[in-house]
Chains A and B, each alone.
Chain A
Amino acid sequence: MKDSVLEAKAVKKNLGSGAGEVQALRGVDLSLRPGELTLLMGPSGSGKTTLLLILGCMLAPSSGEVTVCGSSTGNADKEELAKIRRDHIGFVFQSYHLFPTLTAAQNVQLALDIRGERGPDAMEKSCEALKMVGLDQKTSALPLELSGGEQQRVAIARAIVANPSAILADEPTAALDGSNGHTIMSILASIAHERDSAVLVVTHDPRVLPFADRIVQIEDGRLIDERSGGPKHLRKPRSAAFGG
């Protein structure tokens, strides 16, 4: 078995304080491995997003440990956590969060720019990333000129352009129709398998199940079920997902 890229060990997280304190995570163990697309599923308020934020080094656990590529993030300050994200993790957001005044290529390039990668090489890498998500003809388009699915594909290109070890996607298909949702999940699956990245998709959309290598269920801050995905467990083939 390959080494974990992201790992949470006995992670607990309390949110709020005093009488309003809530235990959002109650001792979670989860590891994300390269080449695997993991689905994190659960109802609203189950702790999905809290776990994603902790794995994404944006929220510190109340107890337990998070390691990124073998290094613990426990003692890292905000700037060091930002560097860990910059170096190892790509993010895909539900609302895309593209920069409306920048073109598709510039949005992708931004992920390289913050890493200090500039010039023609950065531009070439950005165009390649856009090509990988099928948007090589739309490098100069502004986000407003793109459909929701296309915007999400730009966001994926932005997440993968710097070749991070892990991709964390938060409800990437929630705002998309079936066809676009299928395309997005296909791309995320191919990123996991072809680029050997660890991909975690947080979702409550059952249509994405056919794309999972592993499915993790969370409820009341605990992982209650973990099973392998993949064709043998599917009720429907991938082609049938999203009503295809």
Chain B
Amino acid sequence: MSLPLTLALRNLLHDRLRFIATLVGIVFSVVLVLIQMGLFLGFGHMVTTMIDHASADLWVVPKGAKCFEDPSMLDIKLRDRIAASNGVAAVIPLVIGFSDWRLESGEMTPVFIVGADLHDGGLQPWNVIEGNAQALAEGGTVAVDRSYFERLGVTGMGSTAEIRGRRVKVSAITDGIRSFTTTPYVFVDLKNARTYTGTPADRASNLLLRLTTGADREQVLKTVRAQAGDNAEVLTADEFRSRSRSFWLFGTGAGAALFAGALLGVIVGTVIVAQTLYSSTKDHLTEFATLRAMGSAHRYIYNVIIYQALLNALIGFSIASAIGAIVVEMTAKSALPIVITPWLIAGLCALTVVMCVASAIGAIFRVVRIDPATVFMR
């Protein structure tokens, strides 16, 4: 280990209380940023979960639809026009919307109905742990997620309730299909979805398009866009995902709030590290002045301070990452899980290093002003 690094490490360990205070500051800051950004990613993932699990190459959505949950409707006649286009293998109507679920006890709770034609398989429940999705073809059957059992008054397969006054029976149970709006998703057959949401037979929420094998996607997109008319838009899945995320994360201000929280974490961390590093440097001024008197270049002394900052960053980030991993584990089954990706970890690591090194600037400015002659006065 180089001497400046050794000196930096021992200086840190020598001032244990200050070192702990610094680490607490860094850990607090990094965990806060990690949670905020993890929530941001988790939220971004949650708002597109239906789009992610739909079996569609292209989406036809009502003009100006901001997200999957948009209540606007399409004219179903569009389906036939588009189905006749070259390269289109299937056009699957999807009906979604809010409805009321009446528990056996008589209580009411809102639910979000998702209905697609089961034969076409455009958007079916996934992660089915009991029963099967095809059972939804039978009239009056639904699939619900087990995380909403209590909310829906469901105890398992065969439990019954009412949607819009019609009796329904649970015939499939899923795991992990959580809604970020906290309103439970209820999967049903297309026909039942119309009934439960009050959607007329000549309307659909979206049309899911599947292309034929080998079709030129760009060409089909161009053709279908031309046929869609003024009341509909044709989007790729990526475009629809991006639009949904933009709406929920930035249109609602949720994303800005999360970013503001993350920024706060960075500011708090930087201030704490800068303060403790500055005070540590001040305590070691005689040592730095001695180095200067011995003829050390300023750069050598900066290295010691930067190493201290980097060690703070490394140790603080490691602890914060461990805490982050526990938080991720704890929220994995919640309505809004925190998602940590390798990129987020890499970014946070870089941010921690930048934060700590930037914090060293104050200390470096102090060292620049050191007068080596002071060692002869002490």
Contact = CB atoms under 8 A, between A and B. Distances in A.
Interface string A98-142: 011110001001110111001000000000000000000000000
Nearest to A96: B290
A20 B372 CA distance: 23
B98 to A, nearest CB: 66
A58 B6 contact: no
Contacts of B376: 49, 52-53, 58, 93-94, 170
B296 A93 contact: no
A86 B7 contact: no
Contacts of A49: 376-377
B231 to A, nearest CB: 73
A89 B294 CA distance: 8
Contacts of A56: 293
Given A101-B10, A106-B3, A114 B298 contact: no
Contact of A82 (B290, B296, B377): B296
Residue picked from B10, B290, B373, B377, most chain A C-beta under 10 Å: B290
B2 interface: yes
B227 interface: no
Given A101-B11, A102-B7, A110 B375 contact: no
Interface residues of B, number: 28
Interface string B283-316: 0001100111111111010000000000000000
Contact of B297 (A79, A84, A102, A158): A79
B311 to A, nearest CB: 13
Contact of A110 (B291, B292, B377, B378): B291
A113 B3 contact: yes
Nearest to A94: B376
Nearest to B12: A101
A59 interface: yes
Contacts of A52: 376
B10 A82 contact: no
Contacts of B10: 101-102
B323 to A, nearest CB: 29
A101 B294 contact: no
B77 interface: no
B14 interface: yes
B127 to A, nearest CB: 56
A193 interface: no
A59 B293 CA distance: 11
A100 B3 contact: no
Interface in B1-24: 2-4, 6-7, 10-11, 13-14
B7 A97 contact: no
Given A97-B286, A118-B2, A91 B293 contact: yes
Nearest to B13: A101
Interface string B358-378: 000000000000011101111
B295 A85 contact: yes
Contact of B7 (A53, A84, A85, A101): A101
A5 to B, nearest CB: 15
Contact of A95 (B4, B294, B378): B378
B247 to A, nearest CB: 56
Contacts of B298: 79, 82
Interface of B: 2-4, 6-7, 10-11, 13-14, 286-287, 290-298, 300, 371-373, 375-378
Closest 8 CB pairs of A and B: A86-B295, A101-B10, A85-B295, A114-B296, A97-B290, A58-B373, A113-B3, A82-B295
Interface of A: 49, 52-53, 56, 58-59, 79, 82-87, 89, 91, 93-95, 97, 99-102, 106, 109-111, 113-115, 118, 158, 170
Given A82-B295, A86-B297, A93-B375, 14 more contacts: A58-B293, A58-B372, A58-B373, A82-B296, A82-B297, A93-B290, A93-B293, A93-B376, A97-B286, A101-B7, A106-B6, A110-B294, A158-B294, A170-B376
15 contacts: A58-B376, A84-B295, A85-B293, A85-B294, A85-B295, A91-B375, A94-B376, A97-B293, A99-B287, A101-B10, A110-B294, A113-B300, A114-B296, A114-B300, A158-B294
